[in-house]
Amino acid sequence: MGKIKYPKPVKLIVGFIFAQGKIFFQAKEELVKKFGEIDFESPLFSFNYTDYYRKEMGNKLWRKFVSFKRLFDPEKIVSVKLFTNEIEQKFSSGKKRKVNIDPGYLTLSKLVLTTTKNFAHRIYLGKGIYAEVTLRYIKGKGFQPWEWTYPDYRSENYLEVFNSLREKYKKQLEKEEKGEDGKEGV
C-alpha cells in the first residue's frame, strides 16, 4: 500500500480575457477581496488566437494574467472556479459576458487550468468543474505545451510569463521550508 502524501501549496494563477479595461480592474478587485494581495500582473497581451469570444465580448480583446501572493491548497481550486464564474455573471450583460476569468494553479512541474467543459484530456473535480494539465515543466526547456494546449498558451509571451511565475513560486516554497513564510489557505 502506498503512503498518502499531501501536495505542497500551489500558486493561484488567473487569466482574464476582456474588451474593456474598466471591467478587468473591477473583476480583479473582486478577486483581491477574496484571495488577497496580487504579487504579479502580466503585460497586456492582444488576444487574437481565436474568434470564440468575439461574438460575446467584441472584436478587440485583451489578455492579462495575475498571480496571488498567498499560496493555497490545490483541493480548493473547484471553489475558486465557482467564484470566478459568479464574477463573470456579475459583470455580464444579459447572456453576454464582459470578462472571461480562467483560474488555475502552478506547481514546479505543471500549470493546471480549470473549466466547465469536459473532454478526453480533462478530469472531473466536482460541482461541474474539470481540470487539465495545460503545460508541463521540462528541465532545461521550461514549460512546454501538450497537443491539447490552447494556441495562446503555446506562445512565447505566455510561456515566458509562466516560467517567470515558476521562479517566483520556487522562491516562495524555499522561504516556506526555511520557516520564513507561512502558508495560508484560500
- State CA 163 to chain mean position distance: 14
C-alpha–C-alpha distance, residues 181 and 173, integer Å: 8
C-alpha–C-alpha distance, residues 153 and 133, integer Å: 12
- Structure confidence at residue 96 (pLDDT): 95
pLDDT along the chain (186 residues), means of 10: 94 97 98 98 95 92 98 97 98 94 98 97 98 98 97 97 98 89 50
Q: pTM for the full model? A: 0.93
- Structure confidence at residue 181 (pLDDT): 53
- Structure confidence at residue 178 (pLDDT): 85
